[in-house]
Each structure stands twice: as C-alpha cells, then as structure tokens.
A and B are shown apart, each in its own frame.
Chain A
Amino acid sequence: MARIEIQKTYKIYIGGQFPRTESGRYYPLKNKKGDVIANICLCSRKDFRNAEVAARAAQSGWGSRAAFNRAQILYRIAEMLEGRKEQFISELLLQGSTLAAAKKEVEISIDRMVYYSGWCDKFQAIYSSVNPVASSHFNFSVPEPTGVVAIIADETTSLLGLVTAIAPVIAGGNTCIVLASETKPLCAVTFAEVLNSSDLPGGVVNILTGTAAELHEHFSNHMDVNTVIYYRNNKAEIKTIKENASLNVKRVFVYNKINIATEKAESPYFIFDTQEIKTTWHPIENIGASKAGY
C-alpha cells in the first residue's frame, strides 16, 4: 500500500515562533486542478499588532549587533536556503511555476541574500561622511537604522519578492513585518523556517499571510511603525498608505516599478532608504596659535 503523506500546516511567523492567526480565520489555497493544497492563515489587525511588538522589541538588539555579525547571519540564511533548494522548487511547482522558472527564482533568491550579506558591513563606508566644517570641530555623519519597517511584498512571486524586500531592510539593522503574496504564500512560511534556523534573532523578521486589501490600512496607521514599503500596484491602497503615514510621519517607499527578477532590484540604495543620517559635532582643541582641524 502506498504511504500516506504527512501534510504541513502552514502557519505564520511572529517573534521567532510559529503561531496560527489569532483571528482563527483561513483561506484555502488551491492548485490548478482546484484541489486544496493548504489552508492559509488569514491574518488580522491583531496579528499585525503582535508582530509589531515583536519587531520593536528585537530592533535595538539587532541594530546594535556588529555589522559583521549581521553579515554572517545573512550569509547563514543563504546557506540554509541553498540546502532547502529542492523544497522551495517543489513548492513553486505546486503554485504553478515551471521547473526552469522555479529553479531560477530560488537561485536568484539565494544569490541576492549573499549580495546583501556583503553590504551589511560596507554600506556605511559609502553613505557616511566626514564634513569639513569651518569651525574647529570634528563633524561626521553616519547612517542608522530607521527602526521598524512594515512591508507589503510582491504579489507575483512566492520567494524572490519576499527575499528582495526583507534583505536590504535587515541588512541595515531594522526589523520588519512582512505581508507575503496572497496567491503564492507557501514559500513565505517555509522561508520563515529557514530564518528560524539561521541564528537570526526572533522578531527581526515577522511574516504574515492574508490580504493586502484588509491589512494595508493597519500596516500604515500603526503609530509605532517607522517606514512602510509597498511592492504592489493598487492605486487606492497606495493613497491610503501615504495618507495614513502622515499620522506619525512614516517614510513610505513604493517599489512597484522595479523588475525584481533582474539585478536592478539589487542596490545599496534600498538599504539607504531605511536609514536615518545622524551628524555628530565634536570640538577639536586648539592650543595657542596652533589650529587643528579636518
């Protein structure tokens, strides 16, 4: 007799744990034939709020880690992804991808994670400056993470859109809450398992499933979120997000003109978008007539 397979329950990822949605709701994910593949959590406002608390709690620890350590952890994520390649490919096939496209999507995702791992301890050298002010001061500007970032990820891909959105945000020391693709959510949950086994502290990345139609409002009006990033094309949602952002002056970035399948989607400027610039003035002692300066 053929062996009966064990099916996986797809749950969400908050604070390093895998709860079900607090709302108890679900939506069925079906394959081409119309069979149910999985029941996906239909996340609510409460789930987002819980995720935000986890993200905020994790931010100062993650942001103050050595940049080199963050680089190692992002590289570890890439290593874990590489090891689970086959699983991601089979999930992409389940969600309607061709084999060639699935393979390509997974490989670009791994390489992109390595790309941003490299930036963790390098973007600072590109974006900081020593400013030659006219007075006797040592004056320098450095980037610092903006804080908690709420992301509504690409709808058209299951893994690549998620990696493209998360990597630059956490490379820069931020934490985030990400809404996965509604129609292709499987890889998001499996990616959470990758994160969970990569030495990434719980709460740095929180992944929700559900609909942007319901959640974009909550992503953008939460008073303890610093930045919202939106990868989709719904004009009404974009307008609401921008309006809500004004409640506490959130930074908003709409990245829906980028072809995420190409290297155009890889740049340190995506890290820079979720950084604040801090300038410090420090006096330089002058002794007698002997002036010192930079």
Chain B
Amino acid sequence: MSKEKKLKFNAAWELDPAPEDSKHVSIKKQYDLFINGEFVKPNSKKYFATYNPATDEKISEVADADEKDVDKAVKAARAAFGKWSKLSGKERGKYIYRIARLMQERAREFAVIETMDGGKPIRESRDIDVPLAANHFFYYAGWADKLEYAFPNRNPKPLGVAGQIIPWNFPLLMAAWKIAPALAAGNTVVLKPAETTPLTALKLAELIRDSGLPKGVVNIITGAGKTGAAIVNHPDINKIAFTGSTNVGKWIQKSIAGTDKKCTLELGGKAANIIFEDAPLDQAVEGIINGIFFNQGHVCCAGSRLFVQESVADIVIRKLKDRMETLKVGDPMDKNTDIGAINSKQQLLKIQEYIEIGKNEGGEIYQPSCSLPKKGNFCKPTIFLNVSQSHRIVQEEIFGPVLAIQTFRTIEEVIEKANNIPYGLSAGVWTDKGSKIFNLTSKLKAGVVWANTYNKFDPTSPFGGYKESGFGREGGLHGLGAYLTI
C-alpha cells in the first residue's frame, strides 16, 4: 500500500470556543475551617492561596490548620459520635440522602468550581466527578439501615472517629468516597482535602451545614502535609483512610504501627493496558486514550503502561497517533476540551522531568502538533515507544499524560510483564475472546480489571489495590466493611 489518506480534522474549520459560564458560582475570598458545624478561624491565623492552574490566577484563600485545629476537629467529631452512632440507621440514612439531593441540585456549581480549582475539563467534572460523587452519597445512604444484611451473623458497629486525607486529582469525588460510607456506618469524620484543591470540599462543608446534619459529624479542615500528619498522629482517631501517593501511604502505615488505628490505603498505580491482536482495535484505541489522558493522566488507575501484541502494534500505534492529533488541549472551562490543565506547577515540573528521563533512557517520544495556551500549566499528551521493563518511565508512577508503550508476543509474556511491578491497582484487557478475558482477570495482580473498557467507576463497584497500591476497598458492599467492626 502506498501513502494512506488521512482525515484532517482541523483543516476545514475550527471549533469555536464554548466556555462554561462561571458567573453563577459563588466563591468567597477566604475560607475558614469547618469544625463542629460552623466555619471557624484557624489557630495560626494563617491562610494560603489556591490558584486556577489554567490561568495562574488566585481564586481564594483557605485556612492552614495546625495541631490545635486538628485537635479541635477531632474533639468535635468525638463529641458527636455518641449520638450519631446511636441514631437509627433509617434516620442516619435520611441525612445522607439529603446531602446527595443537595449535591444533585447544585451539581453545575460544583462542576465549575472543581474545574476552576483543579484544572480538569468541565466535560469531566460535569459528567463524571460531580454526578458520581452525588451517587455515592445516594448509594451509601441506603446502606445505613441495612448493615446487618451486609455482614450476616455479625453485629456490625462503627469504629468511631475517622481521619480522612484525600488527593487533588478527584477532590469532590474522593470526599464522597470517604464521607458517604463512613457516615452510613455511623462514624464521624475529620476530612482534609489536598492543599491545591480545597474549594469543592469547602463548598461541600457549606452544603452539609445546609443539610442540617448534626454538628460535628463531619469536620472539614484545610492544610498541607503537616495538617495531614497531625490527623494521622492524633491519639483519639480510630481509623485513617488515605488516598494518595505510595510514599505517604507507607509513612502512614509506619506512623500508626504502635496504635490500634484501623487503616485503608488507596495508593499509586502503574496499570497495564493490554491490547491483543483479536481486539476491536478502534475501540481499543479509544480505551488507550481514555486510559491515559482522562483527567490529564492524574489518575491512580491510569493505563500508563500499554502492551500491544506485536502483530497489530504498527496499526494500533498509527491509529493512536492519529487519534492524539484530534485531542483538544487547553482551557478546561471549554466544553470541547479533552485535556485540561496540569494541577500545579510542581506537578508539571515532575512530569517534564520524567519526559526528559524517558528521552535520556532512549525512549522514542511522540507528541501531537497541538499548541498550548501561553498561561497556566499545560502539557502535551505524550507517548514513548521503544521502552523496556527496566526504564524508569515504565516502573514509576508519573501521574501525568505520559504513556509508555511496549509490545509482546505471547499471553504468558504479557502476564509476566504486567505483574512485574510493585503496584497492583488496575489493569485493562482488550480482546474479543471472553475466555481469554477471564484467564487474564484471574492472573493479573490488580484490584480492578477492565475488559474492553477503561476507567469505569460506580458506587456499587469495589475499588482498590493489590500490593503497594494499598489495601482495603472503596465502593460497594466491600467499601462498608472498612468503616465497621465486624
């Protein structure tokens, strides 16, 4: 075959800007700590700014909680625990249903703030983050009066005060994953959002206040690593739930070693996305794109290691490059944007460093021809060919839009390579043959395996990792167990 004809998507016309309006949202200039049902000034009197990563503009400033503030929040949660845990499951559930409904009603406002504060495309915050967060509350509300059915022959009891620390990649969704099951099980909560994305958690605090939830049941405090450490080390906390990096997870596990604190950790990943020669290739290419470029690749379960069977590698890579050419990178508030802003300067530097490492290790880099906005933190979608298992960009979690591509010949080989990594959060398998899917799902050391799909989440579906990707599950019936003595 000679030269192939290619579709040129941008040749005839360009999409006009279609920005989402932000006038309808209200963001205060400054936010205090949400403790015992009201917003209170931090002990330190210190505040830090939160920026829009797409424009570098300051959006608001939030309080920096120190040890005394953490202690105050834990005391409020402890004081609220008795009454809350003794409330009937039916009545507890009603409060959680209220939170779900209020969030559905205010969904657009939450989506806009999530995108402004975190940089993710409005299409994702509007269609995925916010509705899923509301659905999590709705789902777990229903469990509150059904716990004895979830764990038969047991008398499940709440643990007490849960300290919850969440990351910046899905700020509101992670808050929902943490708070909803904890409340349904009868616990009270001290939650700390990430320092670069605190706003939707603080809006959630306002919403919780409006819902009439008893004071102190949910406390939301802002700060950086030191605040998180104070939560982990507080002696009156019964459970730590953490989502974030494997390094911090290991530190938490070590810190609480001498205590009776229960713990669930949802940590890093480096998922294998495996394409067999009998896969529906066009769908698989969409799956690769979604797997690695969803949320700028700031996803712990991102399909960041691609394995393509050798016989179809050329065609898959050609289709992948063509598809990358059509991705729209830019203003996250534009409804047509596929890839928004990198969450912070610091993260952008880390990604750029890994791209340099990849080049220096001898990887063959490819990036599409798109231009990037002049202001803000942006990174082109990037793939590396000709890399091997020992390369750092294959072994280490980059947490950005960077894909490392390897090929394989046999199924044994790809299973070996996929599992040969300290992480085990998720994996993807693309093949038309069902029996092969079940062979792989039983052999892959990963907590979630997507077959002919990728990055799917649902409140009813447990999520969590093997090995150094953490322990415990969030979502579904199994997610309840993490907040109960069974």
The count of residues in chain B whose C-beta lies closer than 8 Å to any C-beta of chain A is 28
- Whether the Cβ atoms of A292 and B412 lie closer than 8 Å is no
Within 8 A of B (CB), among A34-89: 67-68, 71-72, 75
Which of A117, A285, A294 sits near B142, CB closer than 8 Å?
Answer: A117
Give chain A nearest CB distance to B101 CB in angstroms: 8
A119 in contact with B142 (CB, 8 Å): yes
In the complex, the answer to whether B438 meets A114 with C-beta atoms within 8 Å is no
What 1/0 flags go to A267-287 for Cβ under 8 Å of B?
010000000000000111111
Tell me the minimal C-beta distance from B384 to chain A in angstroms.
29
A294 touches B135 (CB 8 A): no
Closest to B145 in A: A115
B251 lies within 8 A of chain A by Cβ? no
Give B143 Cβ to nearest chain A Cβ, in Å. Answer: 7
The reply to whether A285 and B476 form a contact with Cβ atoms under 8 Å apart is no
Classify the interface of chain B: helix, strand, loop or mixed.
helix
State the CA gap A13–B90 with chains docked (Å): 31
B419 interface contact, C-beta 8 A: no
B183 at the A interface (CB under 8 A): no
B93 within 8 A of A: yes
For A118, give its contact among B135, B143, B412, B435 (CB under 8 Å): B143
Pairwise interchain contact A285-B433, C-beta atoms closer than 8 A: yes
Interface: A4 (CB within 8 A):
no
Alpha-carbon distance between A120 and B459 when the two chains are bound, in angstroms: 13
A217 in the interface (beta carbon within 8 A)? no
Query: Which of A75, A125, A287 contacts B460 (CB under 8 A)?
Result: A125
Say how far B413's CB is from chain A's closest CB, in angstroms: 11
User: Shortest beta-carbon distance, A41 to chain B, in Å?
Assistant: 35
Q: Would you give the shortest CB distance from A49 to chain B, in whole angstroms?
A: 36
Known: A122-B143, A292-B442. A284 touches B435 (CB 8 A): yes
Q: Counting CB contacts under 8 A, is A199 at the interface?
A: no
Shortest B434–chain A CB gap in Å is 6
Known: A268-B149, A282-B434. A118 touches B439 (CB 8 A): no
Contact A121 B139 (CB under 8 A): yes
Chain B residues with Cβ under 8 A from A96's Cβ?
A: none
Answer whether A114 and B442 are a contact pair too, CB < 8 Å, given A72-B138, A283-B434: no
- Asked if A249 is an interface residue, CB under 8 A from chain B, the answer is no
B93→A293 contact, CB < 8 A: no
CA separation between A140 and B348, bound complex, in Å?
45
Tell me if B463 counts as interface (CB < 8 A to partner A): no
Cα A284 to Cα B451 in complex, Å, equals 14
A138 at the B interface (CB under 8 A): yes
B137 CB to nearest chain A CB (Å): 12
Q: Which residues of B contact A111 (CB under 8 A)?
A: 90
* Residue of B whose beta carbon sits closest to that of A72: B138
| Residues on the A chain within 8 Å of B351, using CB | none
Task: Let me know if A293 and B442 touch, CB within 8 A.
Answer: yes
CA distance A255 to B51 in the complex (A): 61
Q: Is B141 an interface residue (CB 8 A)?
A: yes
Q: How far is the CA of A122 from the CA of B475 in the complex (A)?
A: 12
Give Cα A283 to B435, complex, Å. 5
Q: A114-B97, A287-B439 are in contact. List 7 more A-B contacts (CB 8 A).
A: A119-B146, A122-B142, A125-B476, A138-B438, A283-B434, A283-B435, A285-B438
Q: Chain B interface (Cβ within 8 Å of chain A)?
A: 90, 93-94, 97, 135, 138-139, 141-143, 145-146, 149-150, 411-412, 433-436, 438-439, 442-443, 459-460, 476-477
